[in-house]
Amino acid sequence: MRLGTFSGAWALVVLLSLSTPWSLAAAANPPGLSPGEYVAEGGWGRLRIKPAPSGALAFDIRATGANGHQCALDGQMRDGLAELPTLEPGQSCRLIFRPGVNGIEVASADASNCRHFCGARAGFEGLYRVTSASCTPSAIKRTRAEFKRHYDLKAFEAARAALEPMLAACAASLGWVETGWIRNDLAVTQYRLGDPGACRRVLEPLRADAQTSDREIRNKLPPSDADQWLSVLRAARTNLKLCAENAAR
């Protein structure tokens, strides 16, 4: 039986048009740019904001795209604007942070210059949503570690109680591969608890791909993504078989 490991997910790139010229001096101070941790829906990106000296806000953005390509940007913003130097003389990546009801929209004023901070198949532009304290990437990591401690001690009920609420509450903050591993972890715990019905139900979203051949999966996905997803599916195939056998007894 397989237990999961954290992985990233696909990046969705949203290109935003800018209706006003770039001007640090003219920018209004937007309300709602608050320190905290924000997550792109589907878990492909994370934005963290912290206080910085002289009224500025420090930020860092991490995003993961197809085939393991990534973006990494960090610096300071003022009035919702930031400028990051690139290695090209006289060129910089200029960012706009627009707060809204659902989170913070991150856009670039010059997308070609900002490509300096990303792999070929990754992007960082889009909406980073406010999420509950229990669904931030750091909180999810802690919950998964708590689950593993309980599982390793064979405290399976406590392991289930740690993981099951997170899967229900944090669906929008989880990447697709991470969600697959969490489903496997929860299923094998339910198997240990003698509940094959719950085991099969939590694995149901993986069933169709689990019944697909490795070759077909590789034809659908870039190589690195296929490797990660096939690891999830191989565990799911094993766990589906275990739960079916348990139900037949």
Of the listed ranges 1-10, 14-23, 47-56, 185-194, the one predicted with least confidence: 14-23
pLDDT the model gives residue 105:
96
Determine which of 1-15, 111-125, 210-224 has the lowest per-residue pLDDT on average: 1-15
Sheet (strand 92-99) strand order: 70-77, 57-64, 45-51, 36-40, 126-130, 103-108, 92-99, 81-85
pLDDT, tens digit (0-9, with 9 covering 90-100), for 87-118: 888 889 999 999 988 899 999 998 889 999 99
Predicted confidence band of residue 32 (pLDDT cuts 50, 70, 90) = confident
Phi then psi dihedrals of residue 182, to 5 deg: -65, -40
Which pLDDT score is estimated for 185? Answer: 98
**Of 56, 59, 51, 10, whose CA–CA distance to 174 is shortest?**
10
**pLDDT higher than threshold 70 for residue 227:** yes
Structural domains in the chain, CATH included, are: 36-130 (no CATH), 134-248 (1.25.40)
Closest Cα to residue 191, out of 243, 148, 154? 243
Calculate Rg over the CA atoms of the chain.
21
Query: Distance (Å, rounded) from C-alpha 209 to C-alpha 110?
Result: 39
Mean predicted confidence (pLDDT) in 199-209: 97
Query: Mean of the pLDDT values across residues 167-175?
Result: 92
DSSP string computed for 125-190 = -EEEEE--GGGSHHHHHHHHHHHHHHHHTT-HHHHHHHHHHHHHH-GGGS-HHHHHHHHHHHHHHH
- 130 to 2, 10, 46, 51, 87: CA distances (angstroms): 32, 20, 11, 17, 33
Instruction: Convert the pLDDT of each residue in 114-139 to its tens digit.
Output: 999 999 999 999 999 988 889 988 89
Contacts of 133 (CB under 8 A, 6+ apart): 139
CA-closest candidate to residue 31, choices 88, 104, 95: 104
Helix (H, G, I), strand (E, B) or coil at 59: strand
